[in-house]
Structures are given as structure tokens and as C-alpha cells.
């Protein structure tokens, strides 16, 4: 939806005038050149971070996926299928819960890791969702309850002259039964940071309870409507936690870095450009640097055991390569994500590289 235009990085923002359009087209045209000329450095950078359990994790956010792709925030079904095919060939696709586990414990893997999410809840998405379900690819589907419940098109679509049909409650129930992870996108598509504490609590509590009653399963995650930094305030994070959510997703782009804030998941907008997807998921050093300035500090009240269970005390044995190619994408590296750990815990070697915290990364080390 409009979130994508409003919230997802400079390249998604509408640019005014001919000069702006020209610069946007130029940047898009140069993206393959930038990607291909830096691919060797990216591989080295990702391998270096992965060896320390700090490989970034990417989470993609789509909105409206349809055959005709009528609006600028839509993704064409053909483009979406190309994205998924590329992900299957080059990445490990995780669920949101697995992303969170990786953020808590670190991970070692030779392939980039990514998760797929959708916001709002459009009926046109069903074809794309069926593809994912048939392929066994996990995804989280965030829906706005009021539109699902009433069938009324989204205000942001009506404002642009579109009347896309939202999903029905029966469709959401069927998706959950088929294996989709259903999340909340609020009761209404409100700007959470503008609500009173009572209104915010009702948005979070009511949508969670309504969806759980509908699908008969826990609703663990919420994506904040619009999702820009000004919308994802500490008060919103705290209210979401009090409402019982385990994950809050924003929408302003950025990587998710192990040992940083595991409650707040950052997401990149998925659009029609496969080059942009490749560029992001293979660790763009410019985006990584920008991410490091966006992260919230770890919350002292955060208790990971309450979310993903007790931390594993046993490290998975085996040579590095077998671990990296394992079908199990999560490797618990740390007994405590706030204290140091090293390669020696993995393979018994003395020459492991100790690390303490992702804060140890600085621009000079990239």
C-alpha cells in the first residue's frame, strides 16, 4: 500500500519534477552496474560477518501482488515469481520466528537468509500466496482487521482511486489452516504514534484477539501501519509487548543484525525490481552502514527466553561446511547473546575469533 511509497527508503519515495524522475531512472539503470562491480566484495563481507555469527538477515514486505499491477505500490505476479525463484536458488527462506531466533543466537550459513511478509491483506494476493504454500515457503501475512471484517477497501487505495478487495475472514482462516503465519496490521490502518495509550492498546489487543478467535492460533507478530521511524516509537513497542506480541515489524528498510534488538524486525519493500532484491539480499555495504545508525539499543527488559524458549546449551557439532549447508538454518552460537562467544565453542579450535556484540562493527571494519 501507500506504506511502500511513504516508508521504504529513498528509492521508493516519489520524486518531484523531471529532474527527480531522471535521477530515479539513472539510479535504477546504474544498479546492475553497482551490484555486479561489488559482488566479490559483498561475498567477502557476508562470509566475514557469517563467520562471526553476525550475518545480516533480510525481511521482505509486499503489499498488493496481482497480474495487472495497476498501482505503483503493487508488485506484478510475474515479478514476484521471479523474486521467489531467485530466493529459492540463492537464499535460505526463514519464517519470522526463525529470523528472531537467529537474531538472538547468531547464525552461520553460506547463503543469505530472508523472510517474506505481506501487509494489509488483499484478495488479489491469493495466487501468489498459493504459490508459496505449494512450495512450502514460509511467510507472514499481516492484515488490517476492520477491512477484513467489513470488506471495505483501504482508505489509502480509495484516495488514489483504487477499490482493491480485501481478503475475507474465510480466506484468512483458510490461509492459516494451510500453514500461513497470520499477523496483525492493527484494527484499523491508523498511525499508532498519534493514538492515545488507550486507543493504541485497543488497536493492538482487539486485533490480536479477533484474529486469534478467527484462526484458532496464536498471533505472535504485528506490523506497524506506515512503519516509518516516527510510527515505531518506544511507546508503540512497549504497548505491543504488553499486548502479548513477540515481534514488531517496521517498514523503513534495513538489515536485521544478530545480537541487536530481536523484538523489532526491519523490512525492505518488495517491488518489481529483481536487481534491487539481489542488491539488498547480498548485503549492500551502503545499506548495512545505514542500518547501523537506525538500530534501537537492546532493551534491558527484553527476555528472550520468554519468547523463543530457553537458550540452547549445546552447540551443534560438525564441520563448518556441513553446518552452512544444513537444512537447519539456525545455529545457536551464543549461550548468552549479551556476552562473548567464539569459534572455539563450535569446533574446539583455539584460533576462534572472539566477539562480544554487533556494536563491535564499525564502518572502518566493513
Binding site for Zn ion (CB under 5 A): 1, 3, 119-120, 225
As given in the structure block, the three cell numbers for residue 238 are: 512497549
Residue 99 CB, nearest approach to Zn ion (Å): 20
> How far apart are alpha carbons 127 and 118 in whole angstroms?
13
The grid coordinates listed for 284 are 549492500
The distance of closest approach from Cβ of residue 210 to Zn ion in the complex, given in angstroms and rounded to an integer, is 17
Chain position carrying cell 545508525 = 293
Cβ burial, residue 217 (10 Å; 0-12/13-18/19+): middle
Rounded to whole angstroms, the Cα distance separating 86 from 40 reads: 18
Residue 207 Cβ, how far from Zn ion at the closest point, in Å?
A: 13
H and E: helices and strands count for the chain: 16, 11
Pick between residue 104 and residue 222 the one whose CB is nearest to Zn ion: 222
Q: Indicate the DSSP class of residue 21.
A: H
Minimum CB distance to Zn ion smaller for 146 or for 284: 146
CB environment 44-78: b (16+ within 10 A), e (fewer): ebbeebbbbbbbbbbbbbbbbbbeebebebbbbbe
Question: Least distance to Zn ion from the beta carbon of 189, Å?
Answer: 6
Supply the minimum distance, in Å, between the C-beta of residue 138 and Zn ion.
Answer: 21
Q: Report d(CA 23, CA 77) in Å as an integer.
A: 27
- Report d(CA 5, CA 307) in Å as an integer: 32
- What's the closest the beta carbon of residue 165 comes to Zn ion, in angstroms? 16
Residue 352 vs residues 52, 255, 342, 349: alpha-carbon distances, Å: 9, 25, 5, 6
Nearer to Zn ion, 119 or 171 (CB): 119
| Nearest distance, CB of residue 188 and Zn ion, angstroms | 11
Amino acid at each position: 500500500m501507500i506504506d511502500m511509497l511513504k516508508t521504504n527508503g529513498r528509492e521508493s519515495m516519489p520524486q518531484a519534477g523531471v529532474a527527480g524522475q531522471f535521477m530515479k531512472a539513472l539510479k535504477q539503470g546504474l544498479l546492475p552496474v553497482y551490484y555486479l562491480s561489488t559482488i566479490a566484495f559483498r561475498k567477502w563481507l557476508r562470509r566475514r560477518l557469517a563467520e562471526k555469527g553476525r550475518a545480516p538477515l533480510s525481511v521482505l514486505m509486499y503489499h498488493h501482488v496481482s497480474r495487472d499491477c495497476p498501482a505503483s505500490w503493487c508488485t506484478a505476479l510475474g515479478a514476484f515469481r521471479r523474486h521467489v525463484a531467485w530466493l529459492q536458488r540463492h537464499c535460505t527462506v526463514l519464517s519470522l520466528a526463525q529470523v528472531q531466533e537467529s537474531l538472538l543466537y547468531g547464525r552461520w550459513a553460506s547463503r543469505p537468509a530472508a523472510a517474506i511478509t505481506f501487509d494489509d491483506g488483499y484478495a488479489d494476493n491469493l495466487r501468489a500466496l498459493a504459490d508459496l504454500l505449494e512450495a512450502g515457503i514460509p511467510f507472514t501475512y499481516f492484515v488490517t482487521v476492520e477491512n477484513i471484517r467489513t470488506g471495505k477497501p483501504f482508505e489509502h487505495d480509495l484516495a488514489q482511486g483504487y477499490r482493491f478487495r480485501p481478503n475475507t475472514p474465510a480466506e484468512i482462516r483458510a490461509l492459516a489452516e494451510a500453514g500461513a503465519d497470520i499477523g496483525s496490521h492493527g484494527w484499523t490502518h491508523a498511525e499508532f504514534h498519534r493514538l492515545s495509550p488507550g486507543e493504541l492498546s485497543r488497536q493492538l489487543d482487539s486485533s490480536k484477539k479477533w484474529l486469534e478467535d478467527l484462526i484458532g492460533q496464536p498471533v505472535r507478530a504485528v506490523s506497524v501501519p506506515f512503519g516509518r521511524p516516527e510510527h515505531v516509537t518506544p511507546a508503540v513497542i512497549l504497548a505491543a509487548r504488553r499486548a502479548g506480541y513477540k515481534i514488531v515489524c517496521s517498514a523503513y528498510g534495513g538489515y536485521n543484525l544478530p545480537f541487536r534488538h530481536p523484538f523489532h524486525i526491519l523490512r525492505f519493500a518488495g517491488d518489481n525490481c529483481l536487481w534491487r532484491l539481489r542488491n539488498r539480499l547480498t548485503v549492500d555495504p551502503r545499506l548495512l552502514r545505514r542500518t547501523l545508525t537506525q538500530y534501537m539499543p537492546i532493551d534491558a527488559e527484553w527476555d528472550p527466553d520468554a519468547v523463543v524458549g530457553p537458550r540452547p546449551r549445546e552447540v551443534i557439532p560438525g564441520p563448518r561446511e556441513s553446518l552452512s549447508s544444513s537444512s537447519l538454518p539456525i545455529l545457536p552460537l551464543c549461550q548468552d547473546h549479551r556476552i562473548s562467544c567464539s569459534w572455539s565453542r563450535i569446533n574446539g579450535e583455539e584460533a576462534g575469533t572472539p566477539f562480544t556484540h554487533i556494536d563491535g562493527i564499525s564502518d572502518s571494519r566493513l
